[in-house]
């Protein structure tokens, strides 16, 4: 089986031992508290589940700047984005060696993790902008990732963590949320060796379904892990429970038995385009996938990135020995009226735009809101029904 990134075995930071877990929960109640940002909380969840393997906690200022500049920590570990605990106010933290990190996304702000404080450092405005520009390729605060990053504060609280909760993800998505440890174990139980991972923050239409099947066939995979982002998205994106229901229905009817796993992970979307594509590859290697599908404008938003920047970064900036996982490069995928099947548009050079069934997201949302199912070439009817019910229920 493919090795995790940066170590021989996975090192989840969640405290699984029940006695130790109970002890730490009591200890946490006596510690000074820090109500963290949603992004910091998501980082804790991801470290708890070993998706950020081999990190042991939040990066310090030097590592954050080094990772932003060259995707390496000061010790040389390859990592595509800084993983930070940023805050505005450190007045209550000074002099303390341990903190209880509290969850901003759950009622009552329960303890999410205990952090050992190794350093508290301040990023200048110029340094914050340097990180944002390197990671997001823009300083435009209309970009949702830039806006979220620059709103978290200037103080970097670094040090190892012990994770005590997976936030709301386990409770709200019990059938879908899985750690990298869980997925790796299930891959082994299923007897899969070559595994394709597919990232989605949207419902899956025919093109996505066929892309997964093309990738499986192209790399001779035993199965595909459909891996849904369950954390915070931008306004207008379809809520995770609706996506979950639509994807489960599609897999139930249109995928062969034991060929697809439906899973999800708890992370806030960065919309960082190429850098986030590399981060997504790290997640998938850690969970045991050998191949990862990256399509047009992966993890992008608006017009901030070129259509294939998330693929070319692996050629231009990611060293050959940085990751073991391999990338399956996908073009825009659509139903061909000429061939009567879904194809990648690059594989149909004799086609014109009119030869494909192409619908904009805006047009699809309008149709669904009016109770009109998109054509069967675009969306499976059972999936369309779930989405129509959602859109028609909106005020």
Two structure tokens written together for 88: 């505005």
Closest CA to 47 of 164, 155, 177: 164
Which is more confidently placed, 49 or 203?
Answer: 49
pLDDT tens readout for residues 132-154: 999 999 999 999 999 999 999 99
pTM for the predicted model, two decimal places: 0.93
Two structure tokens written together for 214: 């093309």
Two structure tokens written together for 354: 């009119």
pLDDT tens readout for residues 276-333: 999 999 999 999 999 999 998 899 999 999 999 999 999 999 999 999 999 999 988 8
Confidence of residue 361 (pLDDT cuts 50, 70, 90): confident
Look over the chain and give the mean of its residue pLDDT values, rounded to a whole number. Answer: 94
pLDDT tens readout for residues 198-246: 998 888 889 999 999 999 999 999 999 999 988 876 667 788 888 889 9
pLDDT tens readout for residues 97-132: 999 999 999 999 999 999 999 999 999 999 999 999
Domain boundaries of the chain, sorted by first residue: 18-167, 176-265+271-392
**How far apart are alpha carbons 80 and 97 in whole angstroms?**
28
For domain 18-167, the CATH class is alpha beta
Please state, for a pLDDT cut of 70, what percent of the chain lies above it: 99
Among 11, 202, 329, 365, the one annotated catalytic? 202
Query: Which residue carries 């970064």 as its tokens?
Result: 313
Say what the pLDDT of residue 154 is: 97
Among 194, 201, 326, 365, the one annotated catalytic? 201
Return the number of other C-beta atoms located less than 10 Å from residue 312's C-beta: 12
**How far apart are alpha carbons 231 and 220 in whole angstroms?**
31
DSSP for 35-85? E--HHHHHHHHHHHTTTTTT--EE--HHHHHHHHHHSB-TT--B-SS----
Per the annotation, the verdict on 341 as an active-site residue is no
Per the annotation, the verdict on 340 as an active-site residue is no
Q: Quick check: 74 and 183 in contact, CB under 8 A?
A: no
Q: How far is CA 103 from the centre of its chain?
A: 19
Return the number of other C-beta atoms located less than 10 Å from residue 48's C-beta: 27
Confidence of residue 394 (pLDDT cuts 50, 70, 90): confident
Per-residue pLDDT at 383 exceeds 80: yes
Q: Work out whether strand 333-336 and strand 341-344 pair parallel, antiparallel, or are unpaired.
A: antiparallel
| CATH hierarchy code of domain 176-265+271-392 | 3.40.50.620
- Identify whether 54 is preceded by a cis peptide bond (ω within 30 of 0): yes
Q: Quick check: 52 and 14 in contact, CB under 8 A?
A: no
């Amino acid at each position: 089986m493919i090795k995790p990134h940066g170590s021989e075995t996975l090192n989840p930071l969640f405290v699984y031992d029940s006695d130790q877990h109970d002890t730490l929960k009591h200890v946490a109640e006596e510690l000074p508290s820090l109500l963290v940002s949603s992004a910091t909380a998501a980082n804790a969840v991801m470290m708890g589940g070993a998706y950020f393997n081999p990190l042991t906690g939040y990066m310090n200022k030097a590592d954050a700047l080094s990772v932003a500049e060259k995707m390496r920590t000061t010790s040389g570990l390859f990592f595509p984005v800084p993983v930070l605990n940023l805050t505005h106010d450190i007045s209550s933290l000074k002099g303390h060696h341990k903190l209880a990190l509290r969850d901003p996304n759950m009622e009552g702000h329960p303890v999410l993790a205990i952090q050992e404080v190794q350093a508290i450092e301040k990023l200048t405005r110029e340094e914050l902008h340097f990180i944002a520009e390197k990671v997001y390729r823009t300083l435009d605060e209309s970009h949702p990732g830039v806006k979220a990053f620059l709103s978290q504060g200037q103080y970097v609280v670094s040090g190892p963590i012990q994770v005590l909760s997976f936030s709301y993800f386990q409770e709200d998505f019990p059938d879908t949320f899985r750690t990298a440890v869980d997925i790796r174990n299930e891959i082994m139980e299923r007897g899969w060796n070559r595994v394709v991972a597919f990232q989605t923050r949207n419902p899956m239409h025919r093109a996505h379904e066929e892309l997964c099947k093309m990738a499986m066939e192209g790399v001779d995979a035993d199965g595909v892990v459909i891996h849904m982002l369950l954390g915070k998205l931008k306004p207008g994106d379809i809520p995770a429970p609706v996506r979950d229901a639509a994807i489960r229905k599609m897999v139930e009817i249109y995928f062969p038995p034991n060929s697809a796993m439906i899973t999800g992970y708890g992370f806030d979307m960065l919309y960082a385009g190429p850098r986030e594509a590399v981060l997504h590859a790290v997640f998938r290697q850690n969970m045991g996938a050998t191949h990862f599908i990256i399509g047009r404008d992966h993890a992008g938003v608006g017009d901030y990135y070129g259509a294939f920047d998330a693929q070319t970064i692996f050629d231009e900036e990611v060293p050959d020995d940085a990751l073991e996982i391999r990338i399956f490069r996908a073009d825009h995928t659509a139903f061909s009226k000429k061939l009567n099947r879904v194809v990648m548009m690059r594989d149909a050079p004799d086609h014109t735009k009119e030869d494909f069934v192409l619908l904009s997201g805006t047009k699809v949302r309008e149709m669904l809101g009016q109770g009109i199912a998109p054509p069967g070439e675009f969306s499976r009817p059972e999936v369309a029904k779930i989405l129509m019910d959602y859109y028609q229920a909106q005020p």
